[in-house]
Structures are given as structure tokens and as C-alpha cells.
Amino acid sequence: MFEASDIIVSLIIGLAAPLAILDSSRLIFDGLLVARGTAQDGRGRLLSWIFALAAGPALFGERVVREARAGRMRGGQVGLSVAAVLGWAWLYGLVLIGLLKQVHG
């Protein structure tokens, strides 16, 4: 059974890991990964899908902030989007903690 601290830790891990993946991939690929994903080649699409899977909550959260600042979202939409980002990050954190427990025993 989870305690409140477990939920908070998994949420923090679920937010931090995708942000680290997103920022490091932007530094390594210098924006080429996103541009390559729009191309019609299969390898570029595969890399974009893998990147989106690994950094999904960070990409989604970044898009929510961008759309909210531009005024293209209403209050309820912002609230639901933030709840979706936090839920996705929490599940992401649970998966990462489970993988770490499997590796370290």
C-alpha cells in the first residue's frame, strides 16, 4: 500500500525524469529530433515516437503552458490538462520506481 510520501516521490520522479530527458535531448540533438519527426522517413518517425514516449509528460506540460499563456485555453481546460499532466507524471514515476526496485532488488 502506498503512503502519501510514496505518491509525492513518484510524482516528483515522474516530473523530473521526462524534463531531464527533454532538456538533454534538446542539447544533444539541437532541435533536430523534432524536425526529423515531421519528415516522411521511417527512422525519423520512430525516433520521434520513442522521444515522445520517454518525455511525454514534459512535452504535454510544456504545450499546456504555451497554450494557456497564448490564451487559447479556458480555465477548465487548463485545470483538466494540468490534472492529466500530473496523473501521467505520477504513473510514469510509479513505473520508474518499479523498474528501479527490480534492478536493485
Specify the pLDDT at position 71. 94
Residue 68 CB coordination number (10 Å): 16
Of residues 91, 79, 81, 101, the one with CA closest to residue 15:
91
Secondary structure (DSSP) of 62-105: HHHHHHHHTT-S-HHHHHHHHHHHHHHHHHHHHHHHHHHHHHH-
Specify the pLDDT at position 50. 83
- pTM as predicted: 0.79
Specify the pLDDT at position 49. 82
Mean per-residue pLDDT pooled into runs of 10, the chain (105 residues):
84 93 83 54 72 89 95 94 95 92 87
Secondary structure (DSSP) of 25-59: HHHHHTTHHHHHHTSS-HHHHHHHHHHHHHSHHHH
Specify the pLDDT at position 102. 92
Specify the pLDDT at position 96. 92
- Tell the burial category of 103 from Cβ atoms under 10 Å away from its Cβ (0-12, 13-18, 19+): exposed
Share of the chain above pLDDT 90, in %: 54
